[in-house]
Chains A and B, each alone.
Chain A
Protein backbone atom coordinates (compact mmCIF):
# COMPACT_ATOMS: atom_id res chain seq x y z
CA UNK A 1 0.00 0.00 0.00
CA UNK A 2 2.74 2.44 0.89
CA UNK A 3 4.35 2.03 -2.53
CA UNK A 4 1.08 3.11 -4.14
CA UNK A 5 1.04 6.16 -1.91
CA UNK A 6 4.50 6.95 -3.17
CA UNK A 7 3.47 6.64 -6.79
CA UNK A 8 0.47 8.91 -6.27
CA UNK A 9 2.52 11.56 -4.52
CA UNK A 10 5.22 11.44 -7.20
CA UNK A 11 2.62 11.88 -9.92
CA UNK A 12 1.01 14.77 -8.05
CA UNK A 13 4.39 16.49 -7.74
CA UNK A 14 5.20 15.91 -11.39
CA UNK A 15 1.85 17.32 -12.42
CA UNK A 16 2.28 20.41 -10.26
CA UNK A 17 5.72 20.93 -11.75
CA UNK A 18 4.26 20.71 -15.24
CA UNK A 19 1.43 23.01 -14.24
CA UNK A 20 3.78 25.91 -13.62
CA UNK A 21 3.83 26.61 -17.31
CA UNK A 22 0.16 25.92 -17.99
CA UNK A 23 -1.26 28.41 -20.52
CA UNK A 24 -4.20 29.30 -18.28
CA UNK A 25 -1.93 29.96 -15.33
CA UNK A 26 -0.65 27.95 -12.42
CA UNK A 27 -3.54 28.70 -10.00
CA UNK A 28 -6.03 27.38 -12.57
CA UNK A 29 -4.06 24.19 -13.00
CA UNK A 30 -3.29 23.69 -9.32
CA UNK A 31 -6.86 24.05 -8.03
CA UNK A 32 -8.17 21.61 -10.61
CA UNK A 33 -5.37 19.15 -10.15
CA UNK A 34 -5.73 19.30 -6.39
CA UNK A 35 -9.50 18.82 -6.59
CA UNK A 36 -9.09 15.80 -8.86
CA UNK A 37 -6.70 14.15 -6.43
CA UNK A 38 -8.83 15.11 -3.42
CA UNK A 39 -11.91 13.57 -5.06
CA UNK A 40 -10.16 10.23 -5.14
CA UNK A 41 -8.41 10.53 -1.80
CA UNK A 42 -10.87 8.14 -0.18
CA UNK A 43 -10.18 5.24 -2.53
CA UNK A 44 -9.21 2.08 -0.69
CA UNK A 45 -9.58 -0.63 -3.30
CA UNK A 46 -6.18 -1.35 -4.83
CA UNK A 47 -7.37 -1.80 -8.41
CA UNK A 48 -9.33 1.46 -8.19
CA UNK A 49 -6.21 3.29 -7.02
CA UNK A 50 -4.21 1.76 -9.85
CA UNK A 51 -6.85 2.98 -12.26
CA UNK A 52 -6.54 6.45 -10.79
CA UNK A 53 -2.76 6.34 -11.20
CA UNK A 54 -3.19 5.26 -14.81
CA UNK A 55 -5.47 8.23 -15.39
CA UNK A 56 -3.08 10.70 -13.77
CA UNK A 57 -0.21 9.34 -15.87
CA UNK A 58 -2.39 9.81 -18.95
CA UNK A 59 -3.11 13.42 -18.01
CA UNK A 60 0.59 13.99 -17.47
CA UNK A 61 1.39 12.67 -20.95
CA UNK A 62 -1.33 14.85 -22.41
CA UNK A 63 0.00 18.00 -20.74
CA UNK A 64 3.51 17.21 -21.96
CA UNK A 65 2.17 16.69 -25.47
CA UNK A 66 0.29 19.98 -25.23
CA UNK A 67 3.50 21.83 -24.36
CA UNK A 68 5.64 20.28 -27.05
CA UNK A 69 2.93 20.82 -29.65
CA UNK A 70 2.45 24.50 -28.79
CA UNK A 71 6.20 24.95 -28.93
CA UNK A 72 6.51 23.12 -32.25
CA UNK A 73 3.67 25.11 -33.79
CA UNK A 74 5.10 28.42 -32.61
CA UNK A 75 8.52 27.53 -34.02
CA UNK A 76 7.05 26.27 -37.27
CA UNK A 77 5.11 29.48 -37.71
CA UNK A 78 8.23 31.56 -37.17
CA UNK A 79 10.87 29.52 -38.96
CA UNK A 80 8.92 27.19 -41.26
Chain B
Protein backbone atom coordinates (compact mmCIF):
# COMPACT_ATOMS: atom_id res chain seq x y z
CA UNK B 1 0.00 0.00 0.00
CA UNK B 2 1.29 3.42 -0.95
CA UNK B 3 2.02 5.67 1.96
CA UNK B 4 -0.52 8.40 2.48
CA UNK B 5 0.40 11.89 3.44
CA UNK B 6 -2.80 13.70 4.20
CA UNK B 7 -3.30 17.44 4.26
CA UNK B 8 -6.45 18.79 5.84
CA UNK B 9 -7.22 22.45 5.23
CA UNK B 10 -9.52 23.82 7.93
CA UNK B 11 -11.23 27.13 8.51
CA UNK B 12 -12.28 28.89 11.65
CA UNK B 13 -15.78 30.19 11.13
CA UNK B 14 -18.56 31.67 13.23
CA UNK B 15 -20.07 28.86 15.29
CA UNK B 16 -23.04 27.16 13.67
CA UNK B 17 -25.26 27.89 16.68
CA UNK B 18 -24.64 31.64 16.62
CA UNK B 19 -27.12 33.84 14.80
CA UNK B 20 -24.97 36.17 12.67
CA UNK B 21 -25.56 39.90 13.04
CA UNK B 22 -24.79 42.56 10.47
CA UNK B 23 -22.45 45.25 11.78
CA UNK B 24 -23.66 48.83 12.11
CA UNK B 25 -21.78 50.01 9.01
CA UNK B 26 -23.57 47.30 6.95
CA UNK B 27 -20.29 46.19 5.42
CA UNK B 28 -19.93 42.73 6.96
CA UNK B 29 -21.15 40.33 9.59
CA UNK B 30 -20.14 41.15 13.15
CA UNK B 31 -17.28 38.87 14.20
CA UNK B 32 -15.85 40.58 17.28
CA UNK B 33 -16.91 38.87 20.49
CA UNK B 34 -18.81 36.18 18.59
CA UNK B 35 -18.16 32.52 19.34
CA UNK B 36 -16.11 30.83 16.64
CA UNK B 37 -15.36 27.20 16.05
CA UNK B 38 -14.00 24.96 13.34
CA UNK B 39 -16.17 24.80 10.24
CA UNK B 40 -18.34 21.65 10.66
CA UNK B 41 -17.44 20.28 7.21
CA UNK B 42 -13.76 20.61 8.08
CA UNK B 43 -14.36 18.73 11.31
CA UNK B 44 -15.75 15.92 9.19
CA UNK B 45 -12.67 15.92 6.96
CA UNK B 46 -10.29 15.86 9.95
CA UNK B 47 -12.26 12.92 11.35
CA UNK B 48 -12.03 11.13 8.01
CA UNK B 49 -8.25 11.54 7.91
CA UNK B 50 -7.99 10.11 11.41
CA UNK B 51 -10.37 7.28 10.48
CA UNK B 52 -8.17 6.41 7.50
CA UNK B 53 -5.23 6.12 9.85
CA UNK B 54 -7.18 3.88 12.21
CA UNK B 55 -8.19 1.67 9.30
CA UNK B 56 -4.81 1.48 7.57
CA UNK B 57 -2.41 1.75 10.47
CA UNK B 58 0.95 1.91 8.75
CA UNK B 59 -0.15 3.45 5.48
CA UNK B 60 -0.88 6.91 6.78
CA UNK B 61 2.43 8.58 7.30
CA UNK B 62 1.41 12.05 8.28
CA UNK B 63 -1.73 14.12 8.85
CA UNK B 64 -1.18 17.85 8.64
CA UNK B 65 -3.84 20.47 9.29
CA UNK B 66 -3.47 23.83 7.60
CA UNK B 67 -5.41 27.02 8.12
CA UNK B 68 -5.28 30.56 6.79
CA UNK B 69 -6.55 33.30 9.02
CA UNK B 70 -6.00 35.78 11.84
CA UNK B 71 -3.98 34.77 14.94
CA UNK B 72 -6.97 33.18 16.69
CA UNK B 73 -7.22 30.60 13.91
CA UNK B 74 -4.76 28.57 15.97
CA UNK B 75 -7.76 27.46 18.05
CA UNK B 76 -9.21 25.62 15.06
CA UNK B 77 -5.83 23.99 14.41
CA UNK B 78 -5.65 22.89 18.04
CA UNK B 79 -9.06 21.28 17.76
CA UNK B 80 -7.89 19.51 14.60
CA UNK B 81 -4.81 18.24 16.41
CA UNK B 82 -6.92 17.21 19.40
CA UNK B 83 -9.01 15.04 17.07
CA UNK B 84 -5.84 13.45 15.70
CA UNK B 85 -3.75 15.51 13.27
CA UNK B 86 -0.01 15.22 13.88
CA UNK B 87 0.99 18.81 13.31
CA UNK B 88 -0.25 21.91 11.58
CA UNK B 89 0.63 24.92 9.49
CA UNK B 90 -0.84 28.31 10.26
CA UNK B 91 -0.73 30.96 7.58
CA UNK B 92 -1.30 34.12 9.51
CA UNK B 93 -3.25 37.03 8.08
CA UNK B 94 -3.59 40.44 9.76
CA UNK B 95 -6.33 40.69 12.39
CA UNK B 96 -8.49 43.24 10.58
CA UNK B 97 -7.95 42.01 7.02
CA UNK B 98 -10.81 40.95 4.79
CA UNK B 99 -11.49 37.26 4.51
CA UNK B 100 -9.63 35.65 1.62
CA UNK B 101 -11.56 34.72 -1.47
CA UNK B 102 -11.45 31.11 -2.72
CA UNK B 103 -8.90 31.73 -5.48
CA UNK B 104 -6.52 33.41 -3.08
CA UNK B 105 -6.95 30.65 -0.51
CA UNK B 106 -6.43 28.01 -3.21
CA UNK B 107 -3.23 29.65 -4.46
CA UNK B 108 -1.79 29.80 -0.95
CA UNK B 109 -2.86 26.22 -0.24
CA UNK B 110 -1.16 25.15 -3.46
CA UNK B 111 2.13 26.53 -2.19
CA UNK B 112 1.59 24.86 1.18
CA UNK B 113 1.05 21.63 -0.74
CA UNK B 114 4.34 22.12 -2.60
CA UNK B 115 6.06 22.56 0.75
CA UNK B 116 4.41 19.73 2.67
CA UNK B 117 4.15 17.33 -0.29
CA UNK B 118 0.95 15.50 0.66
CA UNK B 119 -0.68 13.09 -1.78
CA UNK B 120 -4.21 13.32 -0.44
CA UNK B 121 -6.09 16.43 0.52
CA UNK B 122 -9.32 16.05 2.45
CA UNK B 123 -11.25 19.23 2.99
CA UNK B 124 -14.76 20.36 3.78
CA UNK B 125 -16.94 21.00 0.73
CA UNK B 126 -17.71 24.51 1.91
CA UNK B 127 -17.41 26.74 4.92
CA UNK B 128 -20.53 27.85 6.71
CA UNK B 129 -19.56 31.52 6.83
CA UNK B 130 -19.19 32.62 3.21
CA UNK B 131 -20.52 29.44 1.53
CA UNK B 132 -18.41 29.80 -1.60
CA UNK B 133 -17.75 26.08 -2.00
CA UNK B 134 -14.99 26.73 -4.55
CA UNK B 135 -11.63 26.48 -2.82
CA UNK B 136 -11.29 22.71 -3.14
CA UNK B 137 -12.12 22.64 -6.81
CA UNK B 138 -9.79 25.53 -7.55
CA UNK B 139 -7.00 23.89 -5.58
CA UNK B 140 -7.42 20.63 -7.50
CA UNK B 141 -7.42 22.61 -10.75
CA UNK B 142 -4.28 24.54 -9.86
CA UNK B 143 -2.48 21.37 -8.84
CA UNK B 144 -3.78 19.34 -11.76
CA UNK B 145 -4.98 16.61 -9.39
CA UNK B 146 -8.15 14.57 -9.53
CA UNK B 147 -11.01 15.65 -7.37
CA UNK B 148 -14.12 14.26 -5.74
CA UNK B 149 -16.71 16.68 -4.47
CA UNK B 150 -19.25 15.87 -1.79
CA UNK B 151 -17.80 12.57 -0.60
CA UNK B 152 -20.01 10.37 1.55
CA UNK B 153 -17.67 7.36 1.61
CA UNK B 154 -13.97 7.03 0.95
CA UNK B 155 -12.02 3.81 0.53
CA UNK B 156 -8.35 3.44 -0.28
CA UNK B 157 -6.83 0.49 -2.09
CA UNK B 158 -3.17 0.80 -2.98
CA UNK B 159 -2.90 4.12 -4.71
CA UNK B 160 -6.47 4.17 -5.97
CA UNK B 161 -9.18 5.98 -4.16
CA UNK B 162 -12.85 5.09 -4.50
CA UNK B 163 -15.19 7.84 -3.45
CA UNK B 164 -18.94 7.67 -3.21
CA UNK B 165 -20.38 11.10 -3.91
CA UNK B 166 -23.75 12.47 -3.02
CA UNK B 167 -25.43 13.94 -6.06
CA UNK B 168 -29.02 15.01 -6.67
CA UNK B 169 -31.24 11.95 -6.55
CA UNK B 170 -28.63 9.32 -5.74
CA UNK B 171 -24.98 8.53 -5.43
CA UNK B 172 -22.12 8.61 -7.86
CA UNK B 173 -19.02 6.45 -7.47
CA UNK B 174 -15.73 7.80 -8.75
CA UNK B 175 -12.36 6.13 -8.77
CA UNK B 176 -9.05 7.91 -9.08
CA UNK B 177 -5.34 7.59 -8.57
CA UNK B 178 -3.48 9.51 -5.92
CA UNK B 179 -2.78 12.40 -5.61
CA UNK B 180 -6.32 13.59 -5.15
CA UNK B 181 -8.45 16.26 -3.53
CA UNK B 182 -11.55 15.02 -1.72
CA UNK B 183 -14.22 17.37 -0.45
CA UNK B 184 -16.26 16.00 2.41
CA UNK B 185 -20.03 16.12 2.58
CA UNK B 186 -22.15 16.06 5.73
CA UNK B 187 -22.76 12.31 5.85
CA UNK B 188 -19.17 11.13 5.47
CA UNK B 189 -18.83 10.37 9.17
CA UNK B 190 -19.66 11.60 12.66
CA UNK B 191 -16.80 13.70 14.01
CA UNK B 192 -15.61 12.73 17.47
CA UNK B 193 -15.53 15.21 20.26
CA UNK B 194 -12.25 16.96 21.02
CA UNK B 195 -11.92 16.04 24.70
CA UNK B 196 -10.25 18.24 27.27
CA UNK B 197 -7.21 15.97 27.81
CA UNK B 198 -6.69 15.72 24.05
CA UNK B 199 -6.85 19.49 23.66
CA UNK B 200 -4.18 19.74 26.37
CA UNK B 201 -2.02 17.20 24.59
CA UNK B 202 -2.55 19.03 21.30
CA UNK B 203 -0.89 22.10 22.79
CA UNK B 204 2.40 20.21 22.62
CA UNK B 205 2.05 19.45 18.91
CA UNK B 206 3.89 21.62 16.46
CA UNK B 207 2.30 24.59 14.68
CA UNK B 208 4.41 26.07 11.87
CA UNK B 209 3.74 29.75 11.52
CA UNK B 210 3.88 31.38 8.12
CA UNK B 211 3.02 34.85 6.93
CA UNK B 212 1.06 35.84 3.85
CA UNK B 213 4.20 37.59 2.55
CA UNK B 214 5.99 34.22 2.47
CA UNK B 215 3.94 33.23 -0.55
CA UNK B 216 5.11 34.29 -3.98
CA UNK B 217 1.95 33.53 -5.88
CA UNK B 218 -1.00 35.50 -4.65
CA UNK B 219 -4.23 36.87 -6.00
CA UNK B 220 -6.05 39.97 -4.92
CA UNK B 221 -9.60 39.90 -3.66
CA UNK B 222 -11.75 40.63 -6.67
CA UNK B 223 -15.15 41.01 -5.12
CA UNK B 224 -16.30 44.23 -3.55
CA UNK B 225 -18.99 44.04 -0.90
CA UNK B 226 -21.47 46.80 -1.53
CA UNK B 227 -23.83 46.20 1.33
CA UNK B 228 -24.71 43.50 3.82
CA UNK B 229 -28.27 43.43 5.16
CA UNK B 230 -30.48 41.13 7.19
CA UNK B 231 -33.13 39.25 5.22
CA UNK B 232 -36.51 41.02 5.31
CA UNK B 233 -38.68 40.09 8.27
CA UNK B 234 -41.55 37.82 7.35
CA UNK B 235 -44.91 39.58 7.24
CA UNK B 236 -47.37 37.77 9.47
CA UNK B 237 -50.37 36.11 7.80
CA UNK B 238 -53.99 36.88 8.58
CA UNK B 239 -56.85 34.57 9.55
CA UNK B 240 -60.18 34.30 7.75
CA UNK B 241 -63.53 33.48 9.36
CA UNK B 242 -64.77 30.78 7.00
CA UNK B 243 -64.60 29.43 3.45
CA UNK B 244 -66.50 32.41 2.03
CA UNK B 245 -64.08 34.74 3.74
CA UNK B 246 -61.17 32.79 2.27
CA UNK B 247 -62.62 32.96 -1.25
CA UNK B 248 -63.35 36.67 -1.08
CA UNK B 249 -59.86 37.29 0.30
CA UNK B 250 -58.28 35.27 -2.51
CA UNK B 251 -60.36 37.21 -5.05
CA UNK B 252 -59.27 40.45 -3.45
CA UNK B 253 -55.63 39.42 -3.88
CA UNK B 254 -56.25 38.42 -7.47
CA UNK B 255 -55.47 34.72 -6.95
CA UNK B 256 -58.87 33.60 -8.19
Chain A residues closer than 8 Å to B128, beta-carbon distance: 75, 78
Interface residues of A in 11-55 (CB under 8 A from B): 13-14, 17-18
> Number of A residues whose C-beta is below 8 Å from B?
17
- Evaluate contact between B190 and A68: CB separation under 8 angstroms: yes
| Bound CA span A74–B197, Å | 27
Q: How many A-B contacts if CB must be within 8 Å? A: 30
Contact of A68 among B126, B193, B195, B197 (CB under 8 A): B193
Give the Cβ gap from B41 to chain A, nearest Cβ, in Å.
8
Q: Which residues of A contact B197 (CB under 8 A)?
A: 10, 14
CB distance from B78 to the nearest CB of A (A): 14
Instruction: Say what secondary structure dominates the interface of chain A.
Output: helix
Judge if B233 is at the interface, Cβ distance under 8 Å. Answer: no
Most buried by B among A18, A67, A75: A75
Q: Which of B17, B190, B195, B196 contacts A74 (CB 8 A)?
A: B17
Residue of B nearest to A64 (CB): B193
**Residues in A neighbouring B196, C-beta threshold 8 A:** 13-14, 17
Produce 1/0 per residue, B183-198, CB < 8 A to A.
0001000110101110
Secondary structure at the B interface, as helix, strand, loop or mixed, is loop
A74 to B40, CA, bound (A): 10
Task: Determine if B132 is an interface residue (Cβ-Cβ < 8 Å).
Answer: no
On whether the beta carbons of A67 and B193 are closer than 8 Å, the reply is yes
Q: B17 to chain A: closest CB distance in Å?
A: 7
Chain B residues in 8 Å Cβ range of A72 = 186, 190
Contact at A76–B186, with CB atoms within 8 Å?
yes
Chain B positions 86-134 with a Cβ under 8 Å from a chain A Cβ: 126, 128
B215 contacts the other chain (Cβ, under 8 Å)? no
Question: Considering only CB atoms, which chain A residue lies closest to B17 in the complex?
Answer: A74
Distance between B193 CB and nearest chain A CB, rounded to angstroms:
5
5 smallest CB-CB distances across A and B, nearest first, come from A17-B196, A64-B193, A74-B16, A75-B40, A75-B186
Other than the given A10-B197, A13-B196, A75-B128, 14 more pairs (CB < 8 A) read A14-B195, A14-B196, A17-B195, A64-B193, A67-B193, A68-B190, A71-B17, A71-B40, A72-B190, A74-B16, A74-B17, A78-B128, A79-B126, A80-B186
Name 6 A/B residue pairs within 8 A (Cβ), A-sorted: A14-B196, A68-B193, A71-B17, A74-B16, A75-B16, A75-B128
